[in-house]
């Protein structure tokens, strides 16, 4: 099973994948907890 690959939090190994984001041409799985934090950030894709 795959785990979260949050590019801003390398220590997350949750397997509760909520969605995928594309970063630098790579599809990264993101867990529910990390997505909540990412969605609140002021980050441009």
Residue 34: which H helix or E strand, with range? helix 32-40
CA-based torsion, 29, 37, 15, 13: positive or negative: positive
Residue-by-residue pLDDT tens, the chain, 45 positions:
899 999 988 899 999 999 999 989 999 999 999 999 998 888 776
- Partnered with residue 10 across adjacent β-strands are none
pLDDT recorded at residue 45: 62
pTM score, whole prediction:
0.82
Helix %, strand %, coil % for the chain, to 5? 20, 30, 50
Q: CB 42: neighbour CB atoms within 10 A?
A: 4
């Amino acid at each position: 099973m795959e785990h979260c690959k949050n590019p801003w939090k390398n220590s997350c190994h949750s397997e509760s994948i909520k969605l995928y984001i594309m970063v630098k041409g790579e599809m990264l799985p993101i867990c529910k907890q990390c997505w909540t934090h990412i969605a609140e950030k002021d980050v441009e894709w």
